[in-house]
Amino acid sequence: MKYLTPNKSNSQPKPESSPQGEPKKAGSDYLELLARWIVALISLPVIFISHIIAQFVTPGTPGYKLVGAIGFWIGTLLSTDSIWQVLFQGKPLLPWFEQEWIGWLGWLQLPFNVLFWISFGISALVQLMEARTLRGKDPNQAKHEFEESKQYTLGSKPNGNIDLTVALWGDYKRAGMKERHTGGAIALFFWVLDLTTTFVGRNPFRYTNPGVILACFAYNVASMMAGEIGYSIWKLTK
């Protein structure tokens, strides 16, 4: 009986094919990695600058708060110039529309002048009070105060009572109105002070050229509003 012997060609194991594509694949990976590194190195300065800019435009970041503080300082400083000139007879801080100004050497000495800081404090107070009058009350606060005031109902005016009763009834009727009127009077005082110091320290009508008069007038208005704008920017960044 003959035994079937497997064919040599079938019995021998097939040799594993050598991975001819692997060197090409490895080389492609190295090239791709190198390209990524080159792109990363080229884009690194752009990404760095983008992160810096994001710090100044993203709410809540230190850079965003810094922008608000700079706006408040610059705006208040522009308004300080008028108070510095009128109340303390100081030389103009800026050369625009002025015959003479404090100069760069004067700016170096300015931080050591107590009167300048007093002027700056007065200006900051003026800008804060004016900003409040321009903004008005927050709608939610106004609604809350209105709803709270409705709980107090006023009875009819008493008749046949002593004068003290009638006077107390009047106080109850006018409760809170003194503070309201006083706040309006204080705001009016600060507006008048700002207008006076601005246009006395830098009178646009001392010029004869209509264009210069208009430009100086516009600069005065801008210097008055600069503090309010700076304060509003600072509030938005808090």
Reported as a single tens digit per residue, the pLDDT across 105-118 is 989 988 999 999 99
Average pLDDT of the residues in 154-173: 77
The residue behind tokens 């810096």 is: 52
Any idea which of 48-57, 92-101, 125-134, 140-149 has the lowest mean pLDDT? 140-149
Q: Is 74 exposed, middle or buried (0-12, 13-18, 19+ CB in 10 A)?
A: middle
Q: Are 93 and 223 in contact (CB under 8 A)?
A: no
pLDDT band for 130, please (50, 70, 90 cuts).
confident
The residue behind tokens 């007065």 is: 122
pLDDT band for 1, please (50, 70, 90 cuts).
very low
Whole-number Å distance between alpha carbons of 173 and 155: 9
DSSP string of the chain? -PPPPPPHHHHSPPPPPP-SHHHHHHHHHHHHHHHHHHHHHHHHHHHHHHHHHHHHHSTTSHHHHHHHHHHHHHHHHHHHHHHHHHHH-PPPSS-TT-S---HHHHHHHGGG-HHHHHHHHHHHHHHHHHHHHHH---HHHHHHHHHHHTT-PPPPPPSSS-HHHHHHHHHHHTTTHHHHHHHHHHHHHHHHHHHHHHHHHS-GGG---HHHHHHHHHHHHHHHHHHHHHHHHHHHT-
Q: Is 127 exposed, middle or buried (0-12, 13-18, 19+ CB in 10 A)?
A: buried
Q: Are 186 and 129 in contact (CB under 8 A)?
A: yes
Neighbours of 35 (CB within 10 A): 10
User: Residue 182: what pLDDT?
Assistant: 74
